[in-house]
Structure 1
Amino acid sequence: MRFEELQVWKRSARLSSQIYRYFRNSKDFGFRDQITRSSLSIPSNIAEGYERKSDREFANFLSYAKGSSGELRTQIYIGMEIDYIDKATGKGWISESEEISRMIASLMKIKLEKK
């Protein structure tokens, strides 16, 4: 199996793509950079951890991805509050990032229980 086959990687990569497209023309470079980086960090850490040699290393990178999911949700909430993100889009992203976070936690549990 390859990381590209993991549903959690597919969903997080899709979410990151949506966020990149949404903020493509934003002039607030600081906010745009922060929210796109945190969204990109989720699938990137899943992929990097998957390519590591051990389940423990994979679990560590999954932990980073889960942390980035929380960071992303924080930025989405703030983006909605300051009217950078419309409420319907933001709520959808929050819901998807919460589900991705749950998927990551489940995968972490599986990998850590193998030890």
Structure 2
Amino acid sequence: MSYEDLDVWKRSARLSVTLYQETKELRDFGFRDQLTRSGLSVPSNIAEGYERDSDKEIARFLTIAKGSAGEMRTQILIGIEAGYLDKATAKRWAEEAKQLGKMLAALIQRHKRKSG
């Protein structure tokens, strides 16, 4: 199976694209850069893990991706409070980031069992 076949990769890549598109006019470059970087990190680390040779390595990179999903969710929630992001839209993004974290947790456990 390729990482491109994984729903979690597809959904995280789609969310990353959305973050780039929807925040391109945001004037706070530091915030925008941090948010888009954390969003990009999720599918990128999934891909890197699946290009490795072992379940242990896959689990390690999925764990990094899960951390990035949490970072992204936090930044989205802060963006709402700071008035940078549309509340309704950003709440959907935050929920998607939360779901991605859950999906990644399940994949991590699967690969840890296989490597153990």
TM-score by length of 2: 0.97
| Correspondence for 2:3 | 3
Where does 1:62-77 land on structure 2 (aligned, <5 Å)? Answer: 62-77=62-77
Gaps of 5+ in 1: none
**Which stretch of structure 1 is more off in the superposition, 19-28 or 39-48?**
19-28
Q: Distance in 2 between matches of 1:80 and 1:95?
A: 13
AA at the equivalent of 1:34: Q
| Correspondence for 1:50 | 50
String of CA shifts for 1:37-96, please: whole Å, max 9, x gaps.
000000000000000010000000000000001100110011000111111011101110
AA at the equivalent of 2:26: S
AA at the equivalent of 1:97: A
AA at the equivalent of 1:40: L
Count the aligned residue pairs. 115
Aligned-residue Cα RMSD (Å) equals 0.6
AA at the equivalent of 1:42: V
Deviation (angstroms), 1:99: 0.6
Gaps of 5+ in 2: none
| Correspondence for 2:105 | 105
Where does 1:21-36 land on structure 2 (aligned, <5 Å)? Answer: 21-36=21-36
| Correspondence for 1:61 | 61
Q: Distance in 1 between matches of 2:14 and 2:61?
A: 19
Once the two structures are aligned, what percentage of the paired residues are identical?
Answer: 57
Deviation (angstroms), 1:27: 1.8
